[in-house]
Amino acid sequence: MAYDYDPDLLPLIAYVPELDIADLGAARALLDSMRVARPAFVLPDSVVLGKRRVPGRAGDPDVDVWVFSPRARTGLAPGLLYLHGGGFVLGDAEGEALTPAQAAEQVGAVVVSVEYRLAPESPFPAAVEDCCAVLRWMAENAGELGIDPLRIAIGGQSAGAGLAAGVALLSRDRGGPRLCMQLLEIPVLDDRLDTPSMKTYTDTLLWNLPNAVKSWEYYLGPARDGLETSPYAAPARAGDLAGLPRAFVSVCEFDPLRDEGLQYAQRLVQAGVATELHLYPGTFHGSSGVAPQAATSLRMKRDWLDALRRGTAAVPTSS
């Protein structure tokens, strides 16, 4: 099928490799080769990077995290728990170091990026519990990290955004820690795969219906057999979205995940959650990473950073 992609993206489309996670070993090798081919990540001078190991949930392994902090921070900063994408089966904190670094540099946030366990080796609930454990650690150690505990946000891209939505639900239902915002960028939210965009986009770049089917099979693992999927795995299944933190949701036009993001944003609004929604015409899933200097990609990044800045702004104290 032909798609009316944004003109700025067209010159690069021919170079986008075909990603097929049915052969997961090959997909992981492809991701590694793409990382080697692109310019190396350079940490901004104004940002300090530290690596820590955080206690996992009882009975689970410890979790490695990358902590990006503004070098010239004065006072308590907003915090962001950042979760990388990769369909629950690919990716790591190193591969998505740029976005947390930009959040630290341009917003002044202390960003904790999580090396959560991947499926199928560690299916649900491993990843979401890793992220919940790190959120709890952030809140309990906010003073040491230089974070204002009342201004902790959570965000991610693709599967990372789906995990962020799941952690927001879990944190609400378990009674904390309290989040001030959730940033859901091109989120994976629904294992039922029955939206119009999911049924239509069977051959789109990077992500499509066949990859979505395999991703959920890997992620849910044994939990998929004969049981209704947990809303903490697929947040679109949650019956009640009231009481969740304010949200920023972004979707791409030619993305099978488009409609589940749109529907989730609409349900958040209907549940009384302040929600900002962006749909970017002419884009495809992951297009901002393929063509980061395209005008539409730059706009997507500005919108995301601006939403984080506004959503974690200090609340004025009454005199």
Residues facing 304 on adjacent strands: none
At residue 319, the pLDDT reads 34
C-alpha neighbours within 13 Å on the C-beta side of residue 207: 29
Higher pLDDT, 319 or 148: 148
Q: Across residues 254-267, what is the average pLDDT?
A: 98
Q: Which two tokens stand for residue 137?
A: 């650690």
pTM of the model: 0.96
At residue 208, the pLDDT reads 96
**CATH superfamily, region 10-311:** Alpha/Beta hydrolase fold, catalytic domain (3.40.50.1820)
Q: Tell me the catalytic residues.
A: 158, 255, 285
Interval 152-173: pLDDT, tens: 999 999 999 999 999 999 999 9
- pLDDT at 312 exceeding the cut of 80: yes
Q: Where are the chain's structural domains?
A: 10-311
Q: Across residues 115-133, what is the average pLDDT?
A: 97
Interval 214-252: pLDDT, tens: 999 999 997 666 578 999 999 999 999 999 999 999 999
Q: Which two tokens stand for residue 263?
A: 């529907």
Q: Across residues 8-25, what is the average pLDDT?
A: 92
pLDDT, mean over the chain = 94
Helices (H), the chain: 10-13, 24-37, 98-102, 126-140, 142-145, 159-174, 196-200, 209-220, 258-270, 287-290, 295-311
* Nearest of 251, 230, 231 to residue 241 by alpha carbon: 231
Using CA atoms, how far apart are residues 124 and 251, in angstroms rounded to an integer? 24
At residue 149, the pLDDT reads 97
